[in-house]
Amino acid sequence: MGIYFDEDKKIFTIETNHSTYQFLVDEYGNLLHLYYGSNIQGSAEYLLQYRDRGFSGNPSSAGNERTYSMDVLPVELSIWGNGDYRSPAFVVETEDGARGAVFAYASHEIRQGKYRLAGLPAVYTDDAEGSGVQSLEILLNDPVLGLEMRLLYGVLPELDVITRAVTLTNTGKHKVYLEKALSASLDFITGDYDWITFHGRHMMERNVHRTHIDKIGQMIGSRRGASSHQYNPFLIVAEEGTGESTGSCYAMGLVYSGGFQAEAEQDQFGTTRVQMGIQEAGFHYPVAPGETFTTPEVVLAYSGEGTDGLTVKWHDLIRNHMIRDPYKGQPKPVVVNSWEGAYMDINREYILQLAEAGRELGIDMLVVDDGWFGKRNDDNSSLGDWVANESKLSCSLSRLIEDVNAEGLRFGLWLEPEMVSEDSDLYRAHPDWALKLPGRSPVRSRNQLVLDLANDQVKKYVLESICRVLDAGNIEFVKWDFNRSIYEAYSAGADHQGSVLHDYVLGLYEILEQLRSKYPKLLIEGCSGGGGRFDLGMLYYTPQIWTSDNTDPMDRLWIQYGTSFGYPPAAMAAHVTKSPNEHTGRRTPVETRGITAMYGAFGFELDLARMPENEKEAARKQVMDYKRFEQLIREGDYYRLNDPDRENFCGWGFVSKDKRQALVHVVITQIRGNEPVNYLKLKGLKQDAFYTDENTGITYDANLLMSAGLPLPLEHREYRAYRFHFVMEEAQ
């Protein structure tokens, strides 16, 4: 396993436990992609076929060789300027408006350990000797423009993961501009593929969508300055016919929280190209002499065992090599959040009542949500003025923290540091600190504007204001919100507006990294109206993310189902909320709300003191159950047990790494008259073993549970939920 270079054939081979990735340096110095898929023993250069193709031009380096065209060959990274008319990954523009660059191979280096990216989140490893983690760096040159491009590859063999990124260094005398800078491109010479993408909207994020990649160019992405509710920067490329348990498929995830795009198309001769990186709309990034631009990282993973196999590896990668969690290896606190219980109508008396009720139920932490600062009684003012409203709270923030701690609960706080209200002291003092077009009234959303994190002064203010809040007392949790999209990406302090959107993201990452360094035990939960910025970049800084503002448990089943393809349950924050639900009006049993919320990081968001006694008792048991199973939910292998769009129930399960226990949850989504029996097929159990259901004491053959399934109870009640805990029997 590892990275190998054949000096004679000029072929690079990257081997993981179950995959091979291969490309070569040809006689003209171009990098041609050969193969990515299950392990192979030899080289795949015979797959390259050369023909004289009409209207596909020939690069000058090939002389009069008409059978050589970059327009029809599979390439490692398509760069506009060498005759490839297909969608490029990189477009370089000179100061005089000429577009095009021609790069050729110069050298390469293979080294132990994983590369790092300056100012950007990326997959990390411990780089321990013998871990098998390696990096490949390939240097390409364009001597005419004086540009050096480095293609970076990182390899985690045990997880079948390959990471990619690109740097561009200007060693010339003149500034250039990047019009497009995608991080990775995959060219599949043969085969027919679908791509699975995840679309949605605010309060209904990450719905699964599968389409065939054909001659029509397809694109998903976000122009909103954030990864967005509408599309997610994660996708799966699957061979036709690939399902959950069989077939070959590839994950592709962008470690970035700004606007992004992903493209897919089958070209005129059957090659399939899939690309991913920064959104090109609004992007025109200057690279001056001596400067280097670095793309965000794209993570690739392969599975020959369908999306189930991909999910297990991908979740392990994120938990162990992306998320940096102060609670790593430790139980996460069960929280109660004040929002749906009181909204902005909060005061010391209510918070302490909530803390007392939480303590009685076994809850660990109380999070005070919006409404504690400035003159914040609705969402029209005070963002940016991070000073506690002591009149409203009836005490200082420090005193409130001490009082909650005295009740035996840890303390957390809601913040929205990237935003400013027009009705705020900050905006009145510094209107030029907001992103907006000069001389025009801004486009408003929730009557708030976005602060210019591309501006060093603004970054300094945001960091200092947050630190003042955190230094007020023992604050152990922050819910970091971002409640509007960026539209007018104009910075009064920027030299070039085409850099603002990307520099904003870099500014955000800089602030979060400094906070992590100063407060290493602080747990930050990401949020953007729920799941509007649920991406690998944010998970690097915020180990869990509020999955959706929609807390209806039935809608959450679909949201969490789609999210699970790209992100582990440990990263998904989910709460038990009131019934009827405020977003849908739907009534659901408290037991069902609890089981749905136990999908990931568990908590409550309702007025605990006013809960009926039977629901309090149910909540108390839910807290106990979650704490009992928290490690299995957090670290176990996760399996989707059915497609809720095809059946009238939704089932999912967690299997411990040693396969000694399995936790299965099921929610009935629809009841019809004279209902047939539903059978739930389990996954991930140990073949030929026997498992006992803790609830009934019945012992089952694991092979039978996985092939025939488990009959679900028939109850004539809406939205019933069930838990099964299976423990493997010791061999006799």
What residues are labeled active site? 535, 615
The rounded distance, in Å, linking the Cα atoms of 465 and 515 is 12
531 DSSP assignment? B
CB neighbours (10 Å) of residue 111? 11
Query: Contact at 8 Å (CB) between 306 and 245?
Result: yes
Amino acid identity, position 511: I
* Cβ within 8 Å of residue 165, ≥6 positions away: 115, 117, 122, 152, 183, 184, 294, 295, 296, 297, 298
Give the three-class secondary structure for 358: helix
Nearest 5 degrees, angle CA 78-CA 79-CA 81? Answer: 130
Query: Contact at 8 Å (CB) between 483 and 446?
Result: yes
The rounded distance, in Å, linking the Cα atoms of 4 and 15 is 8
Take residue 326 and report the two structure tokens written for it: 């102060």
Query: Contact at 8 Å (CB) between 717 and 671?
Result: yes
Take residue 707 and report the two structure tokens written for it: 């092939």
Amino acid identity, position 407: E
Give the three-class secondary structure for 684: coil
- Tell me, rounded to whole angstroms, the distance of Cα 212 from its chain centroid: 24
Q: Does a cis peptide bond (omega within 30 degrees of 0) precede residue 580?
A: yes
- Strand ranges inside 113-146, DSSP E: 134-142
Query: Contact at 8 Å (CB) between 155 and 133?
Result: yes
The rounded distance, in Å, linking the Cα atoms of 518 and 725 is 41
Helix axis angle for 456-470 and 500-518, nearest 10°, is 30
Q: What is the phi/psi pair of residue 411, to 5°? A: -120, 135
Residue from 234, 7, 245, 120 nearest 503 by CA: 120
Residue from 658, 578, 664, 571 nearest 619 by CA: 578
The rounded distance, in Å, linking the Cα atoms of 486 and 40 is 46
226 DSSP assignment? S
* Cβ within 8 Å of residue 123, ≥6 positions away: 114, 154, 156, 161, 163, 255, 297, 299, 317, 321, 322
* Cβ within 8 Å of residue 481, ≥6 positions away: 370, 414, 415, 416, 527, 528, 529
Take residue 410 and report the two structure tokens written for it: 């840890």
SS (H, E, C) 92-117: EEECCCCECCCCEEEEEEEEECCCCC
For 475, the enclosing helix (H) or strand (E) is strand 475-480
Residue from 378, 387, 21, 396 nearest 184 by CA: 21
From residue 473, give the alpha-carbon distance in Å to each of 30, 479, 694.
58, 16, 44
Cα four-point dihedral sign 485, 486, 488, 493:
positive
Query: On the CB side of 618, how many CA atoms lie within 13 Å of its CA?
Result: 15
CB neighbours (10 Å) of residue 28? 17
The rounded distance, in Å, linking the Cα atoms of 204 and 324 is 27
Query: Contact at 8 Å (CB) between 30 and 19?
Result: no
Cα four-point dihedral sign 51, 54, 60, 66:
positive
Pairing of strands 90-94, 679-680: unpaired
